[in-house]
Every structure is written in C-alpha cells, then in structure tokens.
Amino acid sequence: DDPYDWIVPGVLERSDRLILTGFEGLGKSMLLRQMAVMIAAGMHPFDWHRHSECHPRKVLFIDCENSTRQSRRKFGELAAASIHYGNRVPDGMLRLIHKPEGIDLTQDEWAAWLLERVTAHRPDVLFVGPFYRLHNANMNEELPARRVAAVLDQVRTAVDCALITDAHAGHGEQGIKRSVRPTGSSLLLRWPEFGLGLRPADEEMVNGRPRTVEVQPWRGGRDDRAWPRYLTMGGPHEWPWRSAFKPAVPDAA
C-alpha cells in the first residue's frame, strides 16, 4: 500500500483538496490564517503543540478578499502568538500575497500568473480564495467554476501541494442549523476530496461570536481525516481556535 504523505499527521495530506465553509462572522477566515501560520511553524493547527511528526512546511497564502493592511494586522497577531508559544515561523516558510480586487482564473493571463507564483514558491500548502473571488462570472454558473477548478488542479499538481480554499454557506436560510454546504455552482459539492463547514454549536457569545463552533462535514470524505468535531475560542494572547470536546446536554428532568 502507498504510505501517507502527511503535511499535518492525520489531518492534511499532500495533494488534498479542501473547501471550508461557514456562516458569516464565525471566524472562518481567522481559522484559515491560524492554520497557515501554525503549519508554517511546524505546529498542529488545532491543539497548539509541536508534535514530533510535525515539521515546518512552506505555505503560500493568497488572500483575494481582504486588503493588505487588514490581512497583515490579523497575521501580526498570529505571528505574536507563534513567538509566545516558542514556535516562531522560520524565515521564508510563509508567503502572503494580497489581491483584494480578486483574480479571474477564467482568463489565461491570470491562470499563468497563479501558476508562476506557485511554481516560484513551491508551497506544501496553497491557501487561495474565497472561491467566488477567483472569477468574475456569476458564481452559480457551472462553466466558470469548472475552469477555475481546472486551473487550481493544474497548479496543485505542478508542485504536488495540498490546496485549501473557502466559500460562503447558507445564504438566505434562517437559524443556526441551516446548511453549511457552499453556495454557488454545484461543482463545489463534487470537486474537493473534503468539504467542511463551521456552524454555531451553542448560543454562548464572545465579542459577538459563538464561543464554540461545530465542524460539520457537508460531503463524504474520500479518505479518513482526524479533524476536530468542535472548536472553541482561545483567550487573550492565545491562538484564536483550538480543538474542543463538547459534551452532550442531558435531557431535562
């Protein structure tokens, strides 16, 4: 049998494709940034520790939504956390590119631009998104989504990296139990090997956000991965999210 080529043992393997979704304001973008920094530092992204099986990995993070100033402020807080926990990101292991105007991978020049950046940095993990900012067409149309997916697969296989992107979920639905499946083309339901969504796990709020979120698969994974079932917010000077165990609420007497 072929052995696993883990980037994060049990969680992320080389060549994996993952789409992360979430409701508005849950901290999905911060979770992606945390994963990028901790993977680059050689830490497990959910338990805040350096494992003997974890090693610093090269990460390329292309933010197509937030401005350079906004993004660097958030990454600065995470960089401070990595130093606080004694796991500073080694020089050159995390590269940030900001394209708040978005990119259009349905155009050959943008597809060539992305391939050039990825082959230059040769990351172990490529974060790029959100998906709706990767083309200028109607996000519900199949052909533009198919073109974007083909370009992402091309750059992923060019350097044999894992690919993580994100998408919005549950627009137009009500309540915390609404679907975490991605909005847009149905291709997003079929293309990735793994699809995970964040939803509130309870009504306890901290600074306007739920303290605990549930990590809910919205498609059957093509292999086993040890993602946490729940994530809870960290405190001041800590990482934003960590794995949590949420016990069942007993039935009322």
- Cis amide bond preceding 182, omega within 30: no
- The DSSP code sequence of 155-208 is HHHHHT-EEEEEEEB-TT--STTS--SBSS-THHHHS-SEEEEEEE-SS-EETT
Phi (first) and psi of residue 3, to 5 degrees: -70, 155
Cα 94 to chain centroid, rounded: 15
Instruction: Look at residue 247 in the predicted model and tell me its pLDDT.
Output: 56
Instruction: Report in angstroms the alpha-carbon separations of 45 from 80, 137, 195.
Output: 15, 34, 17
Question: Which amino acid, one-letter code, is at 82?
Answer: S
Q: What was the pLDDT predicted at 160? A: 97
Residue 78: exposure state from Cβ atoms within 10 A (0-12, 13-18, ≥19): buried
Q: pLDDT tens string for the chain (253 positions)?
A: 688 999 999 999 999 999 999 988 888 999 999 999 999 999 999 887 777 788 999 999 999 999 999 999 999 999 988 988 888 999 999 999 999 999 999 999 999 999 999 999 999 999 999 999 999 999 899 999 999 999 999 999 999 999 999 998 865 555 556 789 998 999 999 999 999 999 888 766 666 678 899 999 998 888 999 999 999 988 777 899 999 876 544 444 3
What single-letter amino acid sits at 136?
Answer: N
Beta bridge partners of 197: 21, 216
- Is residue 123 within 8 A of residue 161, CB to CB? The reply is yes
Distances (CA, A) of 174 to 65, 166, 178: 25, 21, 6
pLDDT at 251: 44
Measured CA distances, 116 to 65, 112, 153 (Å): 20, 6, 14
pTM of this structure = 0.92
